[in-house]
Amino acid sequence: MGKSVDTPDGKLDILKNISLDVKYQEAVVIKGASGSGKTTLLGLMAGLDQASSGDVFLFGENLTGKSEEQRSSIRAGRVGFVFQSFHLVQGANALQNVMLPLELAGIADAQQLAVTSLNQVGLENKTSTLVEHLSGGEQQRVAIARAFAVKPTVLFADEPTGNLDAATGRQIADLMFHLRDQSGTTLVLVTHEGELLERGDRQILIESGRLLSG
Amino acid sequence: MKLGRATIHSYWLMFVATVITVAIVTSSQLITDRISLLLDRQASELLAGDMVVISNREFDPDYRDAALQHGLQVSSSVSLRTAIFIDDDPQLVELKAVDSAYPLRGQLERASEVTGDRTVTREIPERGRVWVDTKLARLVGQSIDLGEARFDTSWLLTFEPDRGGAIFNLAPRVLMNIEDLEATGLVVPGSRVRYRLIFAGAQADLNRFKVWLTTNLKSGEEIQDLENARPEMREALQRTRKFFALAIVLTLIIAMAAIAITARYTANREASKVAMLRAFGISQASLFHYYLRQLGGLWLAATVTGIVLGWITQFPLEWILDGWFGKTMPQVQTLKPYFSASLVGLLALAGFSLPYLINATATPPMQVLRTAVNRRSWLRGMLITASAIIAVFAVLVLLMQSSMLAVATLALVLVCALILPLILGWMVKLLLFSSQRRFWLRQYLLSRLQASSRGAIYVMSGFSLVLIAILLIAVVKDELLGSWQQQLPDNIPNYFLINIRSDDIAEVGAYMRQHGIDSSTPYALARVRLSKINSIDVDKISFTDPRAGHLVRHNFNVTHARELPDQNEIVAGSWLDADNPRAQLSVEEGMANRLELKLGDVLTLTSGSKTLHAPVTSIRSVVWENFKPNFYLIANPELLADLPQTGLLSAYVDAENKIELKQLLKRFPSITLLDITELMARVRNIVDKASIALQFFFVFALASALIVLLAAIQTGRHEREIESSLLRALSAHTNQLYRVHVLEFTLMGALIGFFSAGLATVAGWAISVYFFKIDFHPSLTVWIYSLMSSSLVLTIAGTLVSRRVYNISPMKILRS
């Protein structure tokens, strides 16, 4: 599959002839330089965007030609996300942030599941703290708790330690892989950090929109 | 650094808000100046000029010369009472001799017979002819003797502009040419003659001449101008000006709220740019100069655009009002409205945006690495508040030229501005933490409102302030005008029956009741003159109010009453004690103020050879413009028992009752009938004009409100898009996104509507009671309008926002 966008200077190919399989419970790390197309690839795999050519399958369903609404339904309750900038809802506390995807998916005991998930990331004492009052590392823990709360089949993480110091980044990486090991969640992770690269089952190198290894 | 296209784009809302502010000031100043000129001119018609000097003696010729030198037009008239004989019966008439320039303002109306068409004329009676009052209609075509000369009666005089300030004293009018006056031989030493010198011209010339005249005025001469002429008209004009002032202030507040919100939005947008520039070593001072230049450019462009827009928008209103007034609105000859507008634009822009930009230029370079480092200090918060207060105050003082009104309005605005964020923030918190059970939707919405990064509380407060102002203009205005108009209902008296013999008073009252003619209680009048206050001759008292002279130099009516007349209110002391026969006086508030009277002061009143002494036992407020009999002094009946009295009553007489009225006049021939329909129509006209002009300012208010709404939508748009993108990534469906956005705005609208209605009610009450001094009735309409309009407008806005947000790819969350 491929992805291209129209620019004032003409058509720009961001991804070209990508062919990739991610197996169930596999941890795949996508690496590459800035602008290489790794975040675009992650978005296409998660169904956040549409490929310009070729097909993308998620849970056996072809995302090509599906509307945003249909792709949302495919993701619902099965996909988790962790972002570099955390993307928590400001003005809401940690518990409410973790409950958000559970309630969006219509899960009844959202609060209980959210509390459990926060316990798993070590934030049992911060459930009622507004997220803007948490440290960067704690905010990313809330984001991880939110991602794992729905018991996702696949977790997509985009530079999850990119905004954190080395020590905190290490803790977050440990936590994420620990939870992944516990739950057997498939992990697709975009990074350029050496330590995270080593932890994946498989590394995929992308350069100028082309898959060089993997 | 140059003002790039991107920067201009980021400033566009602030630019539009400033344009609207400048346009409001330009247009409102032009329109109010023009309406004021027109209303003054209309009121001038009741004086037949812009200013009149009245005396019992002939005027020094210097007055006329000086007036001409000051560029004014001059006309003179002489009036006196004399008797004519009709079928050998004497009839007292008010003879008035006028020159060819009369009237300088307004026009005479005449008719050939009572039922004939009234025609406006610029002529005055030719020499040897007179025009007579409709009460003397049967004399038309006949000759009458006035003193030693005989005149032909050629026309009925149906209207003359200056038909006397004291409408109860009129005998039927006879109008003649001043050239004929000498021939009558009526003006001889000792005769009671009133000389009037009437002036008209430009306001500046009049003001200069008034200064000259005041210093040269001789004893017994009195100046009358619009301010001290007809009390009914004066009240109507003053109230109209207050309504305009209120509407302009409120509209401006909305416009300035728009500037404040857009300035905050712009400053927030600039913060990251400033952080980057500071990281590169650009000094805070350089950045400040950079923004100062940008603001200067913005002000210049907005001022020019606003002035042009304001100048254009005066024309639709002129077109509407022209039809109503039936004449062209005078042009404003000064550049003051344009200077005021540009100055207001500068003050508002600088006052609201500079502190934000100072704050923005202080953004620490660290923000490049980590956002939200620049937490606004307490000192900066104070700077922003103080600067806004000074800007609003300066604008209000500049425009209102009345610091008291400015302070009152400012206080109202400040209370609202300070209270609103607190109340709204508290309310959101209360709702947010009232339940932790389910997060989705309600909690999520509230958390969105509470998020400080979006500034939703401030935007809501700004919007609420706007809504309060709109409610005050649109709804409370109706209440205020309504209660004003209630004083002028359709069946207010249109006739005064005066000179009723004291023996006939009861019988006339009974006749009116018997024939179903809606009339007031008959009042017995005695003519008195105030000679002493606390045993000191009034001539020896120096009053600070120049209008006091009129009250102490002339006879006026005093009546007696057991009951407090309708629409009179005791403001000090207590109403006349019916069980106490000792002398008591109730004094009208204006008279008390002018003569500096207080409770317990003893007034000495003289009537012919009789002298009365009575203490002031109460002070009353009077609604002068209600056209009911109103009195400066009301005594207890015992006090006036020995004085000659005549009766007075007012009545509403429609076409059907006119026959009964004619029969009444036949039965009681001494009665003089005074038709005040014309005067009443003029006052009612002013009320109507005020209402229309206010609707016009409402359009500006709505335009400003739209800017506030756009700013509200723009503010936090980025965060809203990111959050929507996040929700998409977390598998939210379209209807869930729709609910989030629409309900967020609906909830915001409901909260704003609720608090705005409450504060508008309080503000409306304060304005009615303290500013317009009329009763205030809280209205459910205000609450319904407020809640519905606010929820509806914001829901529509929310829907529009949602439509944009639906199309935002969840990829945005990865890219942000």
What's the pLDDT at A180? 87
Q: Are residues B608 and B585 in the same domain?
A: yes
Task: Tell me if A38 is assigned to some domain.
Answer: yes
Nearest to B731 among A104, A111, A132 (CB): A104
Nearest CA in chain A to B726: A87
Look up the ipTM and state it. Answer: 0.75
pLDDT > 70 fraction of chain B, expressed in percent and rounded? 73
Shortest Cα–Cα distance, A178 to chain B (Å): 22
When mean pLDDT is compared across B361-365, B469-473, B638-642, the lowest value belongs to B361-365
Verify whether the Cβ–Cβ distance B451 to A91 is below 8 Å. yes
Lowest mean pLDDT of A87-96, B297-306, B425-434, name the range.
Answer: B425-434
The pLDDT score that the predictor gives to residue B304 is: 94
Asked if A118 contacts A124 with a C-beta cutoff of 8 angstroms, the reply is yes
**Residues of chain B positioned with their CB less than 8 A from the CB of A111:** 436-439
The pLDDT of residue B410 is above 80: no
Q: How far is B420 from chain A (nearest CA, A)?
A: 19
* pLDDT given for residue B305 in this prediction: 94
Residue B533 is which amino acid? Answer: I
pLDDT at B771 over 50: yes
Do B612 and B573 belong to one domain? yes
- Specify whether B277 is located in the same domain as B161: no
pLDDT tens per residue, range A113-125: 999 999 988 899 9
Which of B645, B675, B705 finishes a domain?
Answer: B675
> To the nearest whole angstrom, how far is the Cα of B715 from the nearest Cα of chain A?
15
Contacts of B815 in chain A (CB under 8 A): 39
Q: Is the pLDDT of residue B647 over 80?
A: yes
* A25 has a pLDDT exceeding 60: yes
- In the predicted model, is pLDDT for residue B613 greater than 60? yes
Residues B257 and B122 in one domain: no
Mean pLDDT of B187-213: 84
Q: Compute the nearest-CA separation of B691 from chain A (Å).
A: 46
Encode B425-485 in three state secondary structure.
HHHHHHHHHCCCCCCCCHHHHHHHHHCCCCCHHHHHHHHHHHHHHHHHHHHHHHHHHHHHH
In this prediction, residues B180-191 reach a mean pLDDT of: 82
Asked if A83 and B813 come within 8 Å (Cβ–Cβ), the reply is yes
DSSP states along B655-715: GGGHHHHHHHHHHSTT-EEEE-HHHHHHHHHHHHHHHHHHHHHHHHHHHHHHHHHHHHHHT
For B796-811, how does the pLDDT look when each residue is reduced to its tens digit (9 = 90+)? 877 776 676 667 777 7
The pLDDT score that the predictor gives to residue A154 is 93
Above 70 in pLDDT, residue B742?
yes
How confident is the model at residue B169, as a pLDDT? 44
The whole-angstrom distance between B753's CA and the closest CA on chain A is 23
Count of domains in chain A? Answer: 1
Residues of chain A with a CB closer than 8 angstroms to some CB in chain B: 39-40, 42-43, 46, 48-49, 68-69, 72-73, 75-77, 79, 81, 83, 85, 87, 89-92, 95-96, 99-101, 103-105, 110-111, 128, 132, 158
Query: For B125-136, what is each residue's pLDDT tens digit?
Result: 999 999 998 878
Q: pLDDT tens for residues B670-683? A: 677 776 666 666 66
Q: Do A87 and B813 touch (CB under 8 A)?
A: yes
Contact criterion met (CB below 8 Å) for B245 and B578: no
Q: What tokens appear for B299 in the block?
A: 């002000």
- Same structural domain, B183 and B221: yes
Q: Which residue has the higher pLDDT, B308 or B564?
A: B308
Q: Are B238 and B292 part of one and the same domain?
A: yes
Domain extent at residue A47: 19-213
Same domain, B511 and B472: no
Two structure tokens written together for B37 = 């000129």
Distance, in Å, from the CA atom of A191 to the CA atom of B187, rounded to the nearest integer, reads: 112
Per-residue model confidence (pLDDT) at position B797: 76
The answer as to whether A39 is a domain residue is yes
Cα distance from A128 to chain B (closest Cα, Å)? Answer: 10
In a domain, A72, yes or no: yes
Task: Give the three-state DSSP class for A120.
Answer: helix
List the domain range (segments joined by +) for residue B459. 5-40+234-487+683-815
**pLDDT classification of A111: cutoffs 50, 70, 90:** confident
Tokens of A117: 């998930």
Q: Are residues B665 and B700 in the same domain?
A: no
Least reliable range by pLDDT among A167-171, A203-207, B724-728: B724-728
> A68 and B734: CB-CB below 8 Å?
yes
Q: How many domains, chain B?
A: 3
3-state secondary structure of B24: helix
Is B816 in Cβ contact with A91 (below 8 Å)?
A: no
Task: Give domain status of residue A197, yes or no.
Answer: yes
Higher pLDDT, B119 or B811: B119
CATH number where A82 lies: 3.40.50.300
Instruction: Say yes or no: B557 and B506 in one domain.
Output: yes
Average pLDDT of A66-77?
81
Percent of chain B, pLDDT > 90? 7
Question: Is the pLDDT score of B763 beyond 70?
Answer: yes
Residues B359 and B351: their CA atoms lie apart, in Å, by 13
CB of B453 within 8 Å of any CB in chain A?
yes
Closest approach of A69 to chain B, Cα-based (Å): 6
- B454 versus B504: the higher-pLDDT residue is B504
pLDDT bucket at B314, cuts 50 / 70 / 90: confident
**Which one of B675, B696, B725 terminates a domain?**
B675
| Domain end call among B204, B229, B254 | B229
Mean pLDDT to the nearest integer, A35-40? 86
Would the pLDDT of B585 be above 60?
Answer: yes
pLDDT, greater one: B345 or B474: B345
Q: In this structure, what are the phi and psi dihedrals at residue B335, rounded to the nearest 5 degrees?
A: -95, 5
pLDDT for B403 beyond 60: no
Average pLDDT, chain B: 76
- Indicate the helix (H) or strand (E) that contains B267: helix B231-279
The answer to whether residue A4 sits within a structural domain is no
pLDDT of amino acid B1:
43
Mark which residues 344-403 of B lie under 8 Å from A by CB: 372
Residues B28 and B66 in one domain: no
Mutate to test the interface with A, among B429, B447, B734 (most CBs of A within 10 A): B447
Domain for residue A207, yes or no? yes
How far is it, in rounded angstroms, from Cα B405 to Cα B415? Answer: 15
Mark whether B302 and B388 lie in a shared domain.
yes
Q: For residue A78, is it within any domain? A: yes
Question: B566 falls in which pLDDT band (50, 70, 90)?
Answer: confident
- Of A155-159, B355-359, B573-577, give the lowest mean pLDDT range: B355-359
Maximum average pLDDT range among B169-173, B632-636, B661-665? B632-636
Tokens of B646: 């005549």
B468/B466 Cα distance (integer angstroms): 5
In a domain, A124, yes or no: yes
> Does one domain contain both B364 and B399?
yes
Query: Which pLDDT value is given to residue B44?
Result: 65
Nearest to B468 by CA among B691, B748, B460: B460
Query: What mean pLDDT is predicted for residues B322-340?
Result: 69
Which residue of chain A is at minimal alpha-carbon distance from B740? A104
Rounded distance between C-alpha atoms, residue B773 and residue B444, angstroms:
47
More confidently predicted of B285 and A25: A25
Residues on chain B touching A49 (C-beta within 8 angstroms): 809-811
Tell me the backbone φ, ψ of residue B739, rounded to 5 degrees.
-60, -40
Mean pLDDT: which of B81-85, B233-237, B372-376, B412-416 is highest?
Answer: B81-85
Residues in Cβ contact with B32 at an 8 Å cutoff, skipping those fewer than 6 apart: B241, B244, B248, B693
Strands B129-133 and B149-159: parallel
Chain A neighbors of B436, CB-CB under 8 A: 95, 111, 128
How far does CA B72 lie from the centroid of its chain? Answer: 29
Least confident of A7-11, A179-183, B268-272, B792-796: B268-272
Contact between A87 and B816 using a beta-carbon 8 Å cutoff: yes
| B429-467 tens-digit pLDDT | 666 555 444 545 556 666 666 554 556 677 777 778 778
Burial tier of B2 (Cβ tally within 10 Å: 0-12, 13-18, 19+):
exposed
Give the confidence band of A181 by pLDDT, cuts at 50, 70, 90. Answer: confident
